[in-house]
Amino acid sequence: MVEAPQTDEGWFALHDFRTVDWDAWRDAPDRERRRAIEEGVAYLDAHEAVEDAEAGASAVFSVLGHKADFVVVHFRPTLDDISRAERQFERTALAAFTEQPTSYVSVTEVSGYVSDDYFEGNEEDIDAGLLRYIEGKLKPDIPEDTYMSFYPMSKRRGEEHNWYDLSFDERRDLMSTHGDTGRQYAGKIKQVIASSVGFDDYEWGVTLFGDDPTDIKDIVYEMRFDEVSSKYGEFGQFYVGRRFPPSDLGAFLAGDGVPTSEFGDESHHGAHAHGEGGHHGEGGDGHHHHDDGDGDHPHGDDGDEAADEDIRGQLEDLNIYAGKPHGEDVYATVLYSEADADELFEEVEGLRGNFDHYPTHVKTAVYEANERGRVAVVSIWETASAAETAAGFLSELPGIVERAGEGSGFGTMGMFYTVKSEHRGDFVEKFGTVGGLLEEMDGHFDTDLMVNVEDEDDMFIASQWRSQDDAMEFFRSDAFRDTVQWGRDVLADRPRHVFLA
């Protein structure tokens, strides 16, 4: 019997597609339409804020074409949660003007293609980045990218080509090759794969998010030439839409362009502290994971910008420098690699030469963890779009396994330090002391001291926390305050807190 890969399930997903009865909408009295909009906005606001469950994410997208007018996407911990979310919409006055032409029910999963140790219970042997990636796959956020594409898919069970007749090793090798194509779109496309075996008509539901719709087209097109798709892929209908904030529901129904503000455009790429994740792996037997996760603030059109200012304000209040490098509006992209630091540096040096031709390039360097085999590539640019473009090139470097800023939790890519050479040993020793305190703090996952391979006095500290509140509790502690005061004598410049592009 062919071996079936093990799976572990996470949050349930509902893609709730709706069409609008435009004739009824046009003929309705103004008071009925106002009530429908008010109750629709209230429903969407409440569910984007996840007021209906312990955890999850929701968002609304307009849909182009005849198949639907809009879709509400929900991720929730239980099947009952998404059932309740669906039924609560039917209680709104807006629901009376809509029909549900289709929907899709699924559950997020990771499979045995990702890690044998995970399914054998050897979590202590799994890289922390991979564990965060798995957490991000099982409990996905909805990134604030502008466009979304959804489609269901299955693996072929024909007489000539039957995916389920292949051995586990054959399937794993095919999925690995399939993923090589997906990795070329790191930083451009984010993806959520959820299994629908036993729940809906196909075997998986695939949701792609991106700021450029042609990137969505290109990745699906290129993957059609991989053997996984060309021989074994079967696809259902495709749906494409654009995200808009609940407050724009009235404008959407009026036929106006949405979003009416800058929601979803380059403003949401701004300086923002995210979690880390995005390890490249597979989603069940579905598509290879392209670039997971997303952003940490899906609720509303000003989430990222407000969060940035909130974090900056809190750090300023604590007398911690909260500006970006050089005191400018610059954007950092950080990718972690399993490759040897020297090998990676040779590749980065070549890319950096090309980057230097662009006036928006500030800095690109390789950093190595002080105490464990972890290597990071940091690239800093004056614009978010340039940083995103650079991420696409950098994702092709050897051994890239994750991109800081995509996944679950709260990550601080910050605290870049320039240490006085004579005090470098003192600084490293101090970090060891503080690191010991961090290990005992509730909500702290891990912290690394990363050192520039070209300049050992140039370092940054990357921390991963369960939430922003957990991180800020540490920043407000006496231990951290004492460390900041101590650092004034050993640093050549003020510490710079960097938010990710």
Kindly list the catalytic residues: 151
Classify residue 237 by its DSSP letter.
-
Which conformational region is residue 121 in: left (phi greater than 0), alpha (psi within -120 to 50 degrees), or beta?
left
Assign 192 to helix, strand or coil.
strand
Secondary structure class of 107 (helix, strand, coil): strand
- Give yes or no for a contact between 296 and 143, defined as CB atoms under 8 angstroms apart: no
Torsion of CA 406, 407, 412, 414, to 10 degrees: -30
CA distances from 493 to 9, 137, 323 (A): 47, 39, 13
In whole angstroms, what is the distance from residue 308 CA to residue 314 CA?
10
Q: Which of 336, 412, 17, 406 is nearest to 189 (CA)?
A: 406
DSSP bridge pairs for 361: 381
- The whole-angstrom separation of Cα 37 and Cα 253 is 9
Distance CA 208, CA 190 (A): 6
Asked whether the CA dihedral 342, 347, 350, 353 is positive or negative, the reply is negative
b/e map 478-496, b = 16+ CB within 10 Å: eebeeebeebeebbeeebb
Closest to 413 in 3D by CA, of 339, 493, 324: 324
d(CA 192, CA 141): 9
Q: Which amino acid is at 190?
A: K
Residues in the chain: 501
Closest CA to 355 of 335, 378, 337: 378
